[in-house]
Amino acid sequence: MPYETHKQWSNWGGNQSATPAFTVRPRDESEAVEAVRFAIREGLPVRAVGAGHSFTPLVQTGGVLLDLSALTGITGVDTARRRARAKGGTPISAFGDALWEYGLGLANQGDIDKQSISGAIATGTHGSGIELGSFSSSLRWVKLINGHGEIVEIGEGQLNELRAAQVALGTLGIFLEVELQVVDAYHLQERISYPSWSETCSTLQDDIANNRHYSFLWCQTEESAGLYELPTPSGLSMVNRSYTKRYNAVSIDESAGGLSQAEGSRRDRSYRIYPGGFMIPFHELEYYVPAERGLEAIETVQDLIRTVHPDQKYPMEVRWVKQDDGYLSPFYKRDTTVISVSGAPGTNYWPYLRDVDSALQPFNARAHWGKIHFLTKDRVSDLYPEYESFVKVRREFDPNGVFLNDHTRALLA
């Protein structure tokens, strides 16, 4: 079983690191089970790592770090039921071509497709579309290693456990294989525009309701768009404008030349349209408010930037996600407006992010589990009606806290 001792790990964003006693890269399920049982015997905690795209201390451990990067691949497709199974370490980017061959695709994706599917599920990762849920909401079955070192399965006949597994921060166990609800394959037409803020507001509700995918990045300074490598028209001031993305399904005959890579109006397979760059490191906070209060919350953050933090130049990204039933899902039982802000690595962005946190608390804002947040156990238990249901399931699967670290223990023990 491949392993290293005392090897430092750092995340993609460069703001989290750890030096576990053992870093293990299992090549199959049996080696993953062996690693967990070794940790249990030695009294060591276990955390899993995928692509390392989380900005929070989810991965940090001084015990055993289980690197799932070798556990990849689509393991089964059911075209009649529109289901796909994959190993836990499979990157999102690997689903596109593989599912397309069966006439299927993922219902939605975000701007980045490098994350492992188990990491995306664990943290509630999502794209944008008021009628579309997160990756977690599509989970229908999972095979995992529990805190006793046993392989167990959770399916649709165990809804209580499945609702807990849909967003679990890696605290139920090691996800070896997952089954997702997928959809018929589809092409997308992209339309990028650059409306002023007043124009954005005037069409906002129509855009949310009548586009398969709608999102925007509000730019407060001329430098804002460049920080996310967003292409903008020469000579157009982006101050108080929105870099706006609309994606809608279209019928395309690929053999007849229906595809296009024209900047701002691409037509292509869905999984080729979604990824949008964002590869220069940044440190992000992402909070979720009820969709009906979305505009009010957006303008609250805009006012905060203008009046208190004019030095903060990263755009504010705004998206929408459909409600779901995952106990710890940020979208539990409410359609959601997503508000994301970022701080520049190497700068003291903490006062800004703390002020955003404070400004959004009156909106009962939940947080992306994989991005910087200031939630406490008390706040989490207030924000999530099924918090106690989740904790009960977590304790059943991992009664001795094998899969907890300091960060998750403070929130979910």
- pLDDT of 2 reads 82
Of the candidates 374, 356, 249, the one whose C-alpha atom is nearest the C-alpha of residue 303 is: 356
Q: Is the pLDDT confidence value at 78 over 90?
A: yes
d(CA 171, CA 407): 11
Give the per-residue pLDDT at 224.
97
Element (H, E) at 233: none
Q: Residue 3 — pLDDT band, cuts 50, 70, 90?
A: confident
Structure tokens given for 170: 């890696």
Cα–Cα distance list, 4 to 17, 42, 218, 402 (Å): 16, 16, 44, 20
pLDDT in tens, 122-164: 999 999 999 999 999 999 999 999 999 999 999 999 999 999 9
By DSSP bridging, strand 64-67 and strand 46-49 are: parallel
Instruction: Say whether pLDDT at 41 is over 70.
Output: yes
Structure tokens at 3: 């392993």
Round to whole Å and give the CA distance between 354 and 360. Answer: 10
Give percent of the chain with pLDDT exceeding 90. Answer: 94
Domain 187-374 belongs to what architecture?
2-Layer Sandwich (3.30)
**Residue 51 pLDDT:** 87
Q: State whether residue 132 is helix, strand or coil.
A: coil
Residue 277 has pLDDT above 70, yes or no: no
Closest among 103, 268, 67, 114 to 183, alpha carbons compared: 103
Average pLDDT over residues 199-204: 98
Compute the chain's Rg from CA coordinates: 21
The kind and range of the H/E element at 40 are: helix 29-42
CB 290 within 8 A of CB 335: yes
Nearest to 132 by CA among 321, 349, 264, 283: 321
CB 339 within 8 A of CB 360: yes
Task: Say which residue, 77 or 7, is predicted with more confidence.
Answer: 77
Q: How many CA atoms lie within 13 A of 226 on its CB side?
A: 6
138/92 Cα distance (integer angstroms): 13
Instruction: Taking residues 105-111, report their average pLDDT.
Output: 96
SS3 362: helix
**3-class DSSP state of 388:** helix
Q: What's residue 278's pLDDT?
A: 66
Phi, psi of 310 (to 5 degrees): -65, -10
Give the pLDDT mean for 94-103: 98
What does the DSSP 8-state code read for residue 169? T
If pLDDT is split at 50, 70 and 90, which confidence band does 300 have? very high
Q: Would you say residue 211 has pLDDT above 70?
A: yes
Give yes or no for residue 368 having a pLDDT over 90.
Answer: yes
Using CA atoms, how far apart are residues 45 and 171, in angstroms rounded to an integer? 11
Q: Tell me what percent of the residues of the chain surpass a pLDDT of 70.
A: 99
- 13: pLDDT confidence band, cut at 50, 70 and 90? confident
Mean pLDDT (the chain, rounded):
96
